Structure 1
Amino acid sequence: MNQELAEMQREDDIVDDNETPDSVPVPRSLIPHLSECAVLLDIDGTLLDLMPTPREVWVPPGLAKTLRRLHERTGGALAMVSGRSLNDIDLIFAPDQFPAVGGHGAEMRIRGSDEAVSPAPSMDKELKLRLAAIARLSPGILLEDKGYSLALHYRLAPHAEKAIYEAVSLIRADLPNAPIEVLPGKCVCEIKHSGFDKASGVRELMKHEPFKGRRPFFIGDDVTDESVFAIMPDMDGLAFSVGRRARGVAGHFDSPDDVRQFLAHLLDDERDVSLP
């Protein structure tokens, strides 16, 4: 596997969002035996197709079964790594509950039956109220309060993007010592407490059984997933992007549907692919 990966040209360029990249095949031989790996998956734009609003996403037929089988075949080492809260993740995949890193690393659950652990502090109430007022700039801006972060979705008001970021910048300039970080995403501006991200969440997750000692592979699509892409080599892992060629990944998929097919195909061969 290591030889194959070394021979594979890494994709060090970023494709402009207006370009439509050709999908880079992801050979199953690059994925270790499922009993030796950890499967880490972003949700929106990776597993599930993006929708006009966060509440409109849905799980396509067959995906739930694929995820349950992968969870079983990896001995429980399958986790969602998302900006969504654990509560949202559970609502989407109900009645299934998977291990997860939620809220960009603010929440974690090692096993599906475990209680959530939240290492992140809640955002200051007054700061949150000032940021929430930005939603009044235009109809169509949707406000999502996650406790430890606040997201402004503008997929229904794309014209408001510049105004949103300008308003956030003004608040940050007024409060230069506020411990916050701005996460730009696909038609969303999220403001969270600094000090944690998806990468810090994944690092912590990988310290615990059943993830500990396994070789991870992570699939993500957005700018917020790049911190996880960056740490995969430290764990002898692999990263794959969706919809664009992100820097440092081993390959990429055109769309969430390609990701779903790939995950299903991992289960086609019950013998799996053993490490050399």
Structure 2
Amino acid sequence: MKHNVAEMTDEVDTAPDDDAAPESVPVPASLVPHLSQTAVLLDIDGTLLDFAPTPREVWVPPGLAKTLKRLHARTNGALALVSGRSLNDIDLIFAPDIFPAVGGHGAEMRLEADSEAVAAHAPPLDKELKRRLAAIARLSPGILLEDKGYSLALHYRLAPHAEKAIFEAVSLIRADLPNAPIEVLPGKCVCEIKNAGFTKASGVLELMTREPFKGRRPFFIGDDVTDESVFAIMPDLNGLSFSVGRRATGVAAHFDAPSDVREFLAHLLDDERHASLS
């Protein structure tokens, strides 16, 4: 097991250099007795799931859905997926299972698996703006366009050479619309454009005011730049955050890869079961 996960304490790291990175340690037993008071918040792409050449090609590894369902039950429903993907897209990936989720970078929320979306305060991206942004995909074969409703993403994993041209084209459109309330989110081989005023952090803050999440101590695992807003608010919620693939500023520790995250989550359940039998 290759996680670089330190013991979970109330203190956070201050981005030490690589030489100061902690040695690999077992899954922290300190969390195990407290799952009934914990809210488990998990990013999807690059955190739970490995990246694929295109967003539609990601797949759920064997055992992950079972682990998530067990965590959902053990936390009395206080498990949520936190993603830039729409709720509909999240459901397609994990079908037939449905989980509580914050989707669209905080634009959508579902508190229970069988409930309707709530707190969708964000307006959809302007249609004319979408049209102009969508035209950027013509810059090169391999640029994939993803319309999420509340945002639009230009994926260039299949056309890495186009990165600079994509961001320059987006900058030109923004310069032409200086008063447009939009925000550009750079990610791993993706440039995403959405309306300003909502983020994953604003979605998590709203989520944590609702049952069954209210009053619990959250921990969040994420990997990308868009997850940094959630890392930043975890101390305000008496929570902890972990990054994947890199040591992000302010996190308690990090995992090397999504496979380590999946193993960590499975071991949380196993260790708790063993503790209850001892």
The answer, yes or no, to whether TM exceeds 0.5 is: yes
Q: How does 1:113-128 map to 2 (within 5 A)?
A: 113-117=114-118, 118-128=120-130
State the secondary structure of the residue aligned to 1:144: strand
- Residue 9 of structure 2 corresponds to which residue in structure 1? 5
Distance 1:223 1:13, change over 3 A: farther
In the alignment, is the contact (CA less than 8 A) between 2:144 and 2:156 conserved in 1? yes
Alpha-carbon contact 1:244-1:252 (below 8 Å) kept: yes
Partner of 2:266: 264
Tell whether the 8 Å contact from 1:215 to 1:235 is kept in structure 2 after alignment: yes
SS in 1 for 2:46: coil
TM-score, normalized by length of structure 1?
Answer: 0.92
The alpha-carbon deviation at position 29 of structure 1 amounts to 3.1
Task: Give the CA deviation at 1:23.
Answer: 7.0
Cα distance change, pair 273–217 in 1 and its aligned pair in 2 (3 A): farther
Q: Return closer, same or farther for 1:199/1:4 CA change in 2, 3 Å cut-off.
A: closer
SS at match of 1:29: coil
Aligned length: 266
Q: Which residue of 1 aligns with 2:237?
A: 235
- Conserved 8 A contact 1:25-1:251: no
What pairs with 1:65-144 in structure 2 (closer than 5 Å)? 65-117=66-118, 118-144=120-146
- Whether the 8 Å contact between 2:29 and 2:271 is mirrored in structure 1 is no
Query: Which residue identity lines up with residue 177 of structure 1 in the other structure?
Result: N
Deviations 1:74-132 (A, max 9, x none): 00000000000000100111111100000100110011111113211011111111111
Does 2:31 correspond to 1:28?
no
Partner Cα separation in structure 1 for residue 8 and residue 22 of structure 2? 21
**Structure 2 counterparts to residues 86-235 of structure 1, below 5 A:** 86-117=87-118, 118-235=120-237
For residues 182 and 13 of structure 1, do their structure 2 counterparts lie closer, same or farther at Cα, with a shift above 3 Å needed?
A: farther
TM-score (norm: length of structure 2): 0.91
Q: Please state how far the C-alpha of 1:147 moved relative to its aligned partner.
A: 1.1
In 2, are the aligned partners of 1:53 and 1:155 still within 8 Å (CA)?
yes
Conserved? CA contact 1:179–1:194, under 8 Å: yes
Structure 1 contact 23–253 (Cα < 8 Å) conserved: no
Which residue of 1 is the match for residue 4 of structure 2? none
User: In structure 2, do the counterparts of structure 1 residues 133 and 30 end up closer, same or farther at CA, with 3 Å as the change threshold?
Assistant: farther
What secondary structure, in the 3-state scheme, does the structure 1 residue paired with 2:271 have?
coil
Contact 1:240 1:251 survives alignment (8 Å): yes
Deviation at 1:28, TM superposition (A): 1.9
**How much does 1:9 deviate?**
6.1
- Residues 84 and 14 of structure 1: CA distance in aligned 2, closer, same or farther (over 3 Å): farther
Q: Could you list the per-position Cα deviations for residues 161-196 of structure 1 after superposition, in whole angstroms to 9, with x for gaps in the alignment?
A: 000000000000110000100000000000001000
Which letter maps to 1:217?
F
- Within 2, Cα distance between the matches of 1:123 and 1:147? 6
Check whether the contact 1:24–1:251 (CA below 8 A) recurs between aligned residues. no
Aligned-residue Cα RMSD (Å) equals: 2.0
Aligned equivalents of 1:13, 1:172: Cα separation in 2:
36
One-letter amino acid matched to 1:100: A
Structure 1 residues 4, 99: closer, same or farther in 2, change over 3 A?
closer
